[in-house]
Amino acid sequence: MSQDNLIRGNDIAAKIRQKIHANIRAVQERIPRFKPSLSIIQVGERPDSSTYVRMKKKAAEEAKIECNIIKLDESVSQLELLELIRSINIDPSVHGLLVQLPLPAHVDDVVVTESIAPEKDVDGFSTIHIGELAKRGGSPMFIPCTPKGIMTLLAEAGVNPAGKLAVVIGRSDIVGSPVSYLLKNADATVIMCHSRTENLPDIVKTADIVVAAIGKPYFVKGAWIKPGATVIDVGTNYIPAANKKSGQRLVGDVEFDEAVKVAAKITPVPGGVGPMTVAMLLENVFESAKRFLEKESQRSITPLKLKIEAPVPSDFEISRAQTPKNIVDIAREAGLAESELEPYGSYKAKVSLSVLDRLATRKNGKYVLVAGITPTPLGEGKSTTTVGLVQALAAHLDKIAFACVRQPSMGPTFGIKGGAAGGGYSQVIPMDEFNLHLTGDIHAITAATNLLAAAIDTRIFHEGTQKDDALYRRLVPAKKGVRKFSPVMLRRLEKLGINKTDPNELTPEEITKFARLDIDIESITWRRVLDVNDRSLRGITIGQAPTERGFTRETGFDISVASECMAVLALSNSLPDMRERLGKMVVASSKAGVPITADDIGCGGALTALMKDAIKPNLMQTLEGTPVFVHAGPFANISIGASSVLADKIALKLAGTEPEENPTEKAGYVVTEAGFDFTMGGERFFNIKCRSSGLIPDAVVIVATVRALKLHGGGPDVKPGSSLPQEYTTENVELLRKGCANLAKHIANVREYGRPVVVAINKMTTDTDAEIAVIREEAIKAGASDAVPSNHWAEGGAGAVELAKSVVKVCEESRPEDFHLLYDLDIPLVDKLRTIAQKMYGAADVELSELAQKKVDLYTQQGFGSLPVCVAKTQYSLSHDPALKGVPTGFTVPIRDVRASVGAGYLYALAADIMTIPGLPTHPGFMDIEVTDDGEINGMF
């Protein structure tokens, strides 16, 4: 028998697998993270199913496609199976999913196969794919594998179906019907037949192409075949075979020995259609992976239209008038996968840190820092400018752009300051959700901080009321007759140099060393917190109950955002990093001067557990529907006053470019904000936050107002709640020009770090063209790349388009190699303070109090001298004295105390009396707030 007319599927499939492998490698050379992945769910251990699954896995490995086989017990419930499929559907690392059929009788095959996401249904069984295939001009995402393999076999054999008569025997939705559609689309005339078709032999004898897919061994006789016809045998039937070890052999639907004598081309069984089915499955996985990759890079933001009114209504009215997009739509437009999103209602969500792994090979987008000049008590609009700039970039210049802002404390919200969502037509919405609980991060900070505070006082009590043996016995109790150290205790043992893991092996000296922290009560720096401006808790006495046996001490409360836990949240780079930082937080010293950490207390793991969800950034949107990350809110006086490192990093990857993309054309923008003016917030951003993140801003935007510059030129004081003096509402170029010296100093301070500056002139209704021209002239003279008036408060993103264009231009010209920090970490602490005071503030020197010097000596001795440092001072002057406006010089900055945030990774010096829990005014904001019957919040702002 001649074999020249065989269509050898094995050989063709091998070539296809090699081609897929080569194609994958070609993509990976451009994009290393490209890893096509197939998941196969197998329920039970049917021998035939296991054979098919092994065959698919082997073929996938040849093609360099990752193949994960998930084996489930036959007793698995349909609900469990569907939940597993759902989790794989939303996993962006999996590009193809199939469930090996048949399934157990208690599971509905149709329900299960239809639950597979169409974009991952690489088998092509979904009714969506079949429907598209049947439709004239349809475009299915996937063609079912066997029909696709059949068409490939015909093409490889040189058989063109156009104009030929094709008979398809079998009408299944998996093979018969789909292959008939494909043949029709290839311009064949198709006759569909089945086991009950009358005169079937006569019909088959007319066929130029026969596709047998009826599932009956030797159903199609050789005598039926028209001489010169092409026969595609899809059958996989087992018949008894005494000469086989298994007792059976595989045959097709066609009587092969007779048909091969007359057919011009014929597929054998095995070795014909079967290998092609698997090859087409792999081809579908590869195409799916490419489609996912293309989808990731095709990010676009559909803006919301603003309903601009004049005069501008209240912030709350503007927010209420806009209908936000669903947060799922915001996430999809930004390039987030469904599995990376945890919605909290319709308009906010948490974002998984896994996105950083998925997009690790992307080049970061452009990074822009917004800071300000020395402000008036009314604020100069940094948050509003941040939002307006992002709205201009994303909604008007068609850039991918993210704002990264801090989560506001509810203390100021219910006090006098109000919220921090921006203002006018440049704000984050919904503003009530933004300014209240959001997703509970501050509550988690509060719980963690207070847990540690309780642990400190509890440890002091137990150490003071028990002898060493009893204390150790209770610290490491026997559970079910076994004593073992907790993981956090092993950390303490390692710190102490005790290389033992069995609690029963410690010597009496080691027991004392391990069990007794011997905390010096006077050295405790850790305070309890709450997110309320409760002035009565600034100083309290605890331990007054009779049960506390006289263990009283004076302490107090801070506002939650002043907790070091919040600073740790803002500066952490990952969950493990946060765990280490929380454990390293120093809460006191021992009587011997040894620093006591949260891990020494035994709290590091528990604090991380309370904050493990808080570490995920929160996603919201602007009034124009552009994405915003809201995450962390460290107290700006004693901390960095900036949003989180992780929010910035995720946004930069989402705004970034693939290796093969042109960054100049495709790069998006991340605009983040520094607390207070650049001299405070910007200095901390660079010297503390950038050191932690390793990120370098491409440009700095300095926000200036005519009002603030006139104040620094000698204008009268500005007070909240009072009318502005006429100097601020009428043109006064001379006063303004004098005040521009303050702006010039901030520009010079930015240039100390080698970063380009754009000045955003935040326009107000009373500003004149002459005044704007003066600011622009003075800013450029001082070294700014540009100075641009912006009316985003009244016009939204449209009012900041020119500012955005200037920022884009400066970012494109920015040189990372020009960046440098203000000081080296290895210089003495006092020299760091002196460098900041002289270079940033314009001071002559610093002067440390006796207490401050004692603290500097202690921290240096304890090994913390190499940490960066920031200065807590007034935001209303470049100096420590709020009365010194403009650009004071020759002053000495008094440092009255120095404190440590070791876990967060910095020290902070107090140059003034800083309240870490504000008070409430006579008429606080909460008096105006009400909730309507339908749950709407009114009167917040």
The full DSSP string for 628-665 is EEE-----TTTS--B--HHHHHHHHHHT-B-TTS-HHH
How many CB atoms are closer than 10 A to CB 922?
6
Compute the distance between CA of residue 133 and CA of residue 182 in angstroms, rounded to an integer. 8
Structural element, H or E, at residue 289:
helix 273-297
Task: Dig out the tokens for 412 from the structure.
Answer: 């100021």
List 193's β-bridge partners, or say none: 169
CA 734 to chain centre: 48
Strands (E), 607-750: 618-622, 627-630, 669-673, 699-704
Q: What Å distances lie between residue 404 and 239, 299, 389, 779, CA to CA? A: 67, 18, 12, 26
Q: Are 743 and 704 in contact (CB under 8 A)?
A: yes
- 3-state class of 21 per DSSP? helix
How many CB atoms are closer than 10 A to CB 461?
15
Amino acid in the structure at residue 185: N
Query: CA 197, 199, 205: angle at the middle one, nearest 5?
Result: 110
273-297 helix and 9-30 helix, angle to the nearest 10 degrees: 20
Compute the distance between CA of residue 267 and CA of residue 276 in angstroms, rounded to an integer. 11
Amino acid in the structure at residue 94: V
- Total residue length of the chain: 941
Residues 6 or more apart from 438 whose CB is under 8 A from it?
A: 344, 348, 407, 618, 630
Sign, CA torsion 868/573/627/413:
negative
Q: What are the backbone dihedrals phi and psi of residue 588, each rounded to the nearest 5 degrees, phi first?
A: -175, 180
How many CB atoms are closer than 10 A to CB 373?
28
Buried b (16+ CB within 10 A) or exposed e, 870-888: bbbbbbbbbbbbeebbbbb
Q: Is 47 exposed, middle or buried (0-12, 13-18, 19+ CB in 10 A)?
A: exposed
Please list the active-site residues: 56, 100, 123
Q: Is 6 exposed, middle or buried (0-12, 13-18, 19+ CB in 10 A)?
A: middle
Buried b (16+ CB within 10 A) or exposed e, 104-135: beebeeeebbebbebbbbbbbbbebbbebbee
Residues 6 or more apart from 754 whose CB is under 8 A from it?
A: 818, 819, 820
Q: Is 2 exposed, middle or buried (0-12, 13-18, 19+ CB in 10 A)?
A: exposed
Q: Are 878 and 887 in contact (CB under 8 A)?
A: yes
How many CB atoms are closer than 10 A to CB 175?
25
Amino acid in the structure at residue 878: L
Listed residue (753, 660, 764) closest to 700, CA to CA: 753
Q: Alpha-carbon dihedral of residues 916, 917, 918, 924, nearest 10 degrees?
A: 160
Residues 6 or more apart from 913 whose CB is under 8 A from it?
A: none
Residues 6 or more apart from 344 whose CB is under 8 A from it?
A: 350, 438, 439, 618
List 483's β-bridge partners, or say none: 478
Compute the distance between CA of residue 58 and CA of residue 923 in angstroms, rounded to an integer. 74
Q: Are 237 and 203 in contact (CB under 8 A)?
A: no
